[in-house]
Structure 1
Amino acid sequence: MLCDVCIGMLSQRKGLVMHGTLQPTFEHHKSTKTLRHSRDMQCPVCTRLAKTLSLHTDLAKDQGLSVQATLNRERGYGKETGKRCFKLIFFLHPNRECTFFLEETDQKASSAPRNHTLKDVVETAQGWMNHCKCAKFWDEPGVKWYPRRLLDLQELRANPQDPQRARVRLVESKECLGQPEKRSIFHHAPAKRQNDRYVTLSHCWGKPGPNLPPPLKLTFETEKRFKNEGIRLHELPKTFRDAVMFAARLDRVGFIWIDSLCIRQPILKEGRNKAEEERDWFEQSRHMGAVYQKAFLNISATASKDGQGGLFFNERPAHLWENNVYVYCPEERPSVSKNGPPERDVYAKCSLIDTSTWDDLVEYAPVNQRAWVFQERLLAPRVLHFGYNQLAWECREFNMSESHTSNELGIKPSRTNGFIQDARLKHLTPAMGRSLREARLSGMSDPDQHIRDLYIYELWKKTVESYSQTALTQHKDRLIALGGIAKLFQEDLFGVDCRQIYVAGLWSRYIESQLLWQVNDVYNGNGLYDNPGKRHSEGGPSWSWAAIESPHGITYGDVTDFKTPQSGQARPRDELLFKVVDYKISLADPKNPFGMVTAGRIFLAPRHLHRIELRKQSPSHGVPYIWHLKPPVQQTKRPIEYENSYLDAPDSDADVFAPTAELYCMPAAFGMRTVRSSDRYLYCLLLKCEGRVSVPPNTPGKQGSVYRVFRRVGITQVGSMFRGEQEALLKQGMTQEVSCLC
């Protein structure tokens, strides 16, 4: 429950230092000693404050504190229900805040369970599943879709009291659930047994410990044993073992799909046939999205860093559970009218929600930092998260946890000082795309409302920006691990009539604007912004964001046609300064356009192309890099220097700083589109010439052509206040040459 300091502040207005027309401001804890006491009593507010303050304050040392809080009535949020809502903000440091949401309730606060047995977990999960309708297709008549292979839980279901003797067996779904469709390794089958549902598992592989055997996986060598003899539970890593034991307790669940046990894992070493080893992996990866989309439930080992972490947890701190508190509302005047009920009470009974709860429990958990899991979580109709201290539920209808049984876990403070319902990962709808765009524009006019599927592009932008922050063990998987989501966008969101083509992480329509992505830099504390990005050519071509690994991800280019919404004609000053005339993508699996890319070329027709020189700056200059147009030999005048540059991967692309590097600047477009035309940046791509390439002799109309080949190395912005610098780039370097970006 809340401590006396918090109750006194909210219920009795103790510590009030400012009121009236301004928002009420309170003094909270004044010393580390009293804060420690409240934290040790498991006050949920003070536990959060202590955790945040400990990042820059020694709480073990007795010293004074300056913690202030403001309490705002949220007039917009809760209007539909008539409930009073409040926002409580604690100011701990010039750059640190803690925000809580208080919503009026008539329910009792939930209490923390004393234990957490398998039976308790199943009961909790079953309750959420019964309430959720996102997998109702499993209750409807008709054929069901199954992956090629599954782990059969029948023996474990038959012997739940003696699981250690039970085995799980690898089965071909066509053999136990019906015959496959022709020309397909995946199966739409009529149910032949009562327990016909299958679930999936999301997990981190991790690294095996020094005293642990290598992880169990399906290979050509193990497949026969997995099918004939089965796998004893003690052979499985703890996470897998917990997952199959849990799954076998669920209603009508007879199978579980685990990637490393249901897809043959290629062994690439001398003497092995590489194509044969990889065939099954490529075949099944084409349908990876469907494996999760069609599952009854996705079980997520959310808090586990590796296969030995397991699902279940022991720590269940009481401060996580919902706490009710009475909030004093002096603007409500209690009075009784002659003809009606009394007006609202001056005290509002509210439930307390920490707006960071979902982030701590789910978003920042180990498994959700993995790229493959990002796709699994987004595509699965519903996910049961096994967090480090409680269960959480995520589906297209609601998010909940054991400690917060309301549907308000997704709320976030908005830029306009209120609350908004944060975009849930699973809400891939045009309506959510519109909400995302409106929140991003923050009230500014939208110049691109005329664009078809604008809000679908906004969803893709958000998806890529989130995905680009995730980690991969194999960087070649960057595109294929997003392939199921890309397929969903093309087939279900854009629609088949859109003629939209997927191009190595971008879309063919308005592709020019999508090439203007940039890597997010990081402030290093020394007055400079660094770029920790690394280039992985196996991830994708240089012009695709997929080629870059960066812990802070990328900002996707705003999708636009660079035309006015009124007339659809180009602006008086053309805002697009190049054109994509063609592209050629080579796929590792020709049958999977959403999979790995072995090579990718885009042919550009730029209006301007300038030879430049780029150099590093010392920290004292305040910017890490600077570039200028390469002057003619006879020129003595100092050239204009450009500072606002974002290199994609400066450490990986160290050759760009060599004196012999042949670097170019290609003016690309004006932006941002939401500001006045006269105030827009000039965006330019920074390129390194890698040589020349001849067009194949059988190319119609282009026989004998030779293109210069460039590698993208960054992007630069020239501000509108530097009108002379912009004009210098647009008056010179005119070209009609078609260039190749690879």
Structure 2
Amino acid sequence: MAISNPLCPTCERAFAANDDTTSHHTAAEELQRSVEKGCFICKRLYNKIQELRNAHATGESIDRPLFDEIRYTRQWSGNDWSARNFTVEAFGSYSEIWFDCISKEVAKQLGLRTSLYPSLRSPNSLKQAKVWLEDCRQHHELCNRRLQSTFVPTRLVHVRQLENGSVTSACLVIDTSLPARTPYLSLSHCWGGAKFLTLTGANLGQLREAIPVAELTAVFQDALYVAFQLGIPYVWIDSLCIIQDSPADWEYESKRMGEVYKGAVCNLSASAFKTGKQGLSSERGSHLSGFLPLQIDTQNGSFSTSAACPEDAQFYVAEGSVLRGKPWEEICNGPLFERAWVLQEQILALRVLHFGKREMFWECRQVFANETRASGWASLPTQWHGEDAHVENALGSMGDAFRYHKQRNPLWQFMVEDLESVESSDGLWRRIVRDYSARSLTYAKDRLPALSGVATEFSAMYGRSQYLLGQWSDDLHLGLLWSQKRPFPSSAHALAWPEVPSWSWASLNAPVDWYLYDLTVDSQQDPTSLCKSINPMTEPDSHAMTLIGNLMRLDVPDQNGGPRWFTFDNGSLTLAYWTFFSWQFYLDQWYFDSLQGKDDEMKTHAMLSSVFFIPLLYKNYRQIICLVLLPLPSVGRGIFRRAGILHIYNPAGGVNKNFTPTAREYQKNITENFYQDCDGEGNYKISII
């Protein structure tokens, strides 16, 4: 049955060839009547108004008009492509929505799929997923460079029967009953707060006989359904394949999790959903793909729907986000990408089938695509050979959108096997930590275990370096200089778990970065020259790191009479000694919090009288980066805790690489209880725990 009012007269005028009117509906009653009659554009404008209303709501009753104004701007009009920008002003704010009207020829040239099945759970929808998977397995050279492992997870869920569109039989199988290279899928999902059926020591035998599928959450049921439709009836699901009440089994399996995701044929990702109750799919309804098929009389601007026979459509109206937006933002900004455990699943998985609220997305080394653009963004034409110059303009926008994806998620686009060809492995590790440290964990003790799979892969690629609780031994002169991101979150000062020493970024349950300075090092210098040696964890069962270098403190006056001014802001203290020359301390939150209750001047004096620092990195005669340390005399002689970093900077140059003469000015009152040994040349041996 055709839709009686695909566009209301007001929205039709917006796309009429020679109409310059910019006002839209002026009364709420008009807009609401148009929405009730099914206007494609008005429904989206109304939803946007509701979003602005909800954002404005502060608990009080809102007694004001539904909206202040709706207007549109004619961006361009052509025979093949027209664009309009609608602006909604409501509740003290405004928002913009683009709409495009494209010809059937443009849609064909862009490889657009202009209609989708109403449910992602439809077998017809999953046919596209199967096409992506089989095409990748058979034809993608980059993806198939990874040698298939003989690895099989300890346990897998086996889908044994499918009736009436639902899984009716499944069981748990163990690896000893399966041949090597058994193909299987993996699953990434948010657990959520609700309780659900998991594997325990008590029900292990029962689940090996039969899994009560009806008792599983929607996401598990959907995963089993998808596996069967893809022709790969084995799935690894963490809560059903790891014994949840066995610490020994959890410890063993968590160390193998990287292999699980690396060895899977494809990873199913519930990317847009907060809990397992929401499953992998949603009912999309009509036109949720974003396209309205139309017949348009270009002479008088009259419209008629082609919804009943979309193949007869000559034009399509679509939201601009469908054509020129960033549809993967639904995925990369979704709740699943906020979870720390999921990062290694994203990095190590060879292929990923993402399930969003509107569409499925496919991701592998060679293709990133969704159902609307099944051949992927990389396949977009770079030139338009028709007569409409506006199409060229839109293609440029779509190309920008594809490049945005590449920049937004660079970690998606590499294999661990290709580290040397991507960039230095050390720099890539810091990028991974930057992303990972900002993600959330249910249990703080998982701070390092949740990244262990990626660390294992890195270790296998360059065995020259030892993995040290989130750092690498060959990169310590840079790796130690992480900084906690500002502003400080309220809970970041707490140690994640006591076994992690303060020199590791994993010791804080907080986002970290190395963004304060360029981490490249002049090839003419020895990057460790400012610190005579860094010997990590030299004692058995000890996490202490030993440093030998120019240990200093700032509680003696500068030769020019001390700093000319200082500022203390959000854990950062800047001391300016003369024009443009500054010493900037970036303190870790636990230490900054210990200074609370004092004014800025008292904080400054308290800090300068207690902390020490040791230079680690020299940068091109303008800057030196140091580690800030707090002595722990109650623990032992020469024992320190990391308290932050110090950035010594002079943009005009003149920062001396040889710190020893300067060091002696700041070492006059370093007594024996502050160091373990001294060589008489200004180098002190200390330990950081």
Same-fold status (TM-score > 0.5): yes
**CA deviation vs aligned residue, 1:446-473 (integer Å, no higher than 9, x gap):** xxxxx99854333323222111121111
Paired AA for residue 136 in structure 2: C
Is 1:255 aligned to 2:234, yes or no?
Answer: yes
* Structure 2, gaps ≥5 residues long: 1-5, 295-317, 381-394, 557-565, 599-605, 668-681
- Counterpart selection for 2:219 from 226, 239, 251: 239
User: Cα–Cα, structure 1 residues 665 and 71, in superposed 2: closer, same or farther, change >3 Å?
Assistant: farther
Is 1:686 aligned to 2:686, yes or no?
Answer: no
The residue number in structure 1 matching 2:163 is: 160
CA contact (8 A) 1:517 1:545 kept: yes
CA distance in structure 2 between the partners assigned to 1:655 and 1:725 by the alignment: 31
User: Cα–Cα, structure 1 residues 113 and 219, in superposed 2: closer, same or farther, change >3 Å?
Assistant: closer
Shift of 1:518: 1.4
- Counterpart selection for 1:151 from 146, 157, 166: 157
CA contact (8 A) 1:627 1:642 kept: no
The residue number in structure 1 matching 2:204 is: 223
Paired AA for residue 125 in structure 1: A
SS at match of 1:738: strand
- Counterpart selection for 2:589 from 639, 649, 653: 649
The residue number in structure 2 matching 1:458 is: 427
Is 1:562 aligned to 2:521, yes or no?
Answer: yes
Residue-pair matches, total: 587
The residue number in structure 2 matching 1:169 is: 171
The residue number in structure 1 matching 2:466 is: 501
CA distance in structure 2 between the partners assigned to 1:299 and 1:99 by the alignment: 31
CA distance in structure 2 between the partners assigned to 1:602 and 1:54 by the alignment: 55
Shift of 1:318: 2.9
CA contact (8 A) 2:271 2:354 kept: yes
SS at match of 1:471: coil
Is 1:666 aligned to 2:670, yes or no?
Answer: no
CA distance in structure 1 between the partners assigned to 2:474 and 2:403 by the alignment: 31
Paired AA for residue 169 in structure 1: C
SS at match of 2:643: strand
User: Cα–Cα, structure 1 residues 530 and 391, in superposed 2: closer, same or farther, change >3 Å?
Assistant: closer
Paired AA for residue 358 in structure 1: W
Paired AA for residue 243 in structure 2: R
CA distance in structure 2 between the partners assigned to 1:161 and 1:720 by the alignment: 73
Shift of 1:366: 1.8
Is 1:357 aligned to 2:327, yes or no?
Answer: yes
SS at match of 1:457: helix
The residue number in structure 1 matching 2:458 is: 489
- Counterpart selection for 1:510 from 472, 475, 479: 475
Is 1:402 aligned to 2:384, yes or no?
Answer: no
User: Cα–Cα, structure 1 residues 30 and 297, in superposed 2: closer, same or farther, change >3 Å?
Assistant: same
CA contact (8 A) 1:667 1:729 kept: no
Paired AA for residue 623 in structure 1: D
User: Cα–Cα, structure 1 residues 599 and 9, in superposed 2: closer, same or farther, change >3 Å?
Assistant: farther
CA contact (8 A) 2:616 2:627 kept: no
- Counterpart selection for 1:547 from 507, 518, 522: 507
CA distance in structure 1 between the partners assigned to 2:277 and 2:613 by the alignment: 51
CA contact (8 A) 1:531 1:648 kept: no
CA contact (8 A) 1:606 1:666 kept: no
The residue number in structure 1 matching 2:553 is: 610
CA distance in structure 2 between the partners assigned to 1:730 and 1:9 by the alignment: 72
- Identity %, equivalent residues: 24
CA distance in structure 1 between the partners assigned to 2:119 and 2:361 by the alignment: 16
* Structure 1, gaps ≥5 residues long: 17-26, 73-82, 178-188, 191-195, 209-213, 268-276, 326-348, 434-450, 523-528, 588-597, 614-619, 630-636, 695-705
CA distance in structure 2 between the partners assigned to 1:741 and 1:85 by the alignment: 64
CA contact (8 A) 1:656 1:688 kept: no
Is 1:623 aligned to 2:569, yes or no?
Answer: yes
Paired AA for residue 492 in structure 2: G
**CA deviation vs aligned residue, 1:215-256 (integer Å, no higher than 9, x gap):** 3322332222222x32211232232222223322321x2321
Shift of 1:295: 0.9
User: Cα–Cα, structure 1 residues 47 and 106, in superposed 2: closer, same or farther, change >3 Å?
Assistant: farther
SS at match of 1:283: helix
- Counterpart selection for 2:124 from 89, 105, 120: 120
What is the TM-score with the length of structure 2 in the denominator? 0.68
CA contact (8 A) 1:514 1:559 kept: no
CA contact (8 A) 1:562 1:576 kept: no
CA distance in structure 2 between the partners assigned to 1:297 and 1:288 by the alignment: 15
**CA deviation vs aligned residue, 1:366-399 (integer Å, no higher than 9, x gap):** 2221111111122111112222232222222222
- Counterpart selection for 1:428 from 392, 408, 414: 414
CA distance in structure 1 between the partners assigned to 2:16 and 2:616 by the alignment: 56
Paired AA for residue 223 in structure 2: A
The residue number in structure 2 matching 1:732 is: 665
User: Cα–Cα, structure 1 residues 561 and 396, in superposed 2: closer, same or farther, change >3 Å?
Assistant: closer
Shift of 1:733: 2.0
Q: How does 1:300-315 map to 2 (within 5 A)?
A: 300-315=269-284
CA contact (8 A) 1:515 1:557 kept: no
Paired AA for residue 549 in structure 1: N
**CA deviation vs aligned residue, 1:84-120 (integer Å, no higher than 9, x gap):** 9999999999x99989899976446512433444423
Shift of 1:431: 12
CA contact (8 A) 1:627 1:641 kept: no
- Counterpart selection for 2:639 from 709, 715, 718: 709
Paired AA for residue 544 in structure 1: S
CA contact (8 A) 2:155 2:175 kept: yes
- Counterpart selection for 1:129 from 133, 158, 167: 133
Shift of 1:292: 1.0
- Counterpart selection for 1:583 from 530, 533, 536: 536
SS at match of 1:458: helix
Paired AA for residue 437 in structure 2: S
CA RMSD of aligned residues (A): 5.5
CA contact (8 A) 2:416 2:457 kept: no
Shift of 1:545: 1.7
**CA deviation vs aligned residue, 1:160-201 (integer Å, no higher than 9, x gap):** 3485752x2222211243xxxxxxxxxxx26xxxxx421111
SS at match of 2:506: helix
The residue number in structure 1 matching 2:264 is: 295
User: Cα–Cα, structure 1 residues 256 and 85, in superposed 2: closer, same or farther, change >3 Å?
Assistant: farther
CA contact (8 A) 2:270 2:354 kept: yes
**CA deviation vs aligned residue, 1:193-212 (integer Å, no higher than 9, x gap):** xxx4211111222222xxxx
CA distance in structure 2 between the partners assigned to 1:135 and 1:147 by the alignment: 26
The residue number in structure 1 matching 2:310 is: none
User: Cα–Cα, structure 1 residues 238 and 49, in superposed 2: closer, same or farther, change >3 Å?
Assistant: closer
- Counterpart selection for 2:492 from 533, 553, 565: 533
CA distance in structure 2 between the partners assigned to 1:91 and 1:459 by the alignment: 43
User: Cα–Cα, structure 1 residues 418 and 484, in superposed 2: closer, same or farther, change >3 Å?
Assistant: closer
**Higher percent of residues as helix:** 2
User: Cα–Cα, structure 1 residues 14 and 375, in superposed 2: closer, same or farther, change >3 Å?
Assistant: farther
SS at match of 1:687: strand
What is the TM-score with the length of structure 1 in the denominator? 0.64
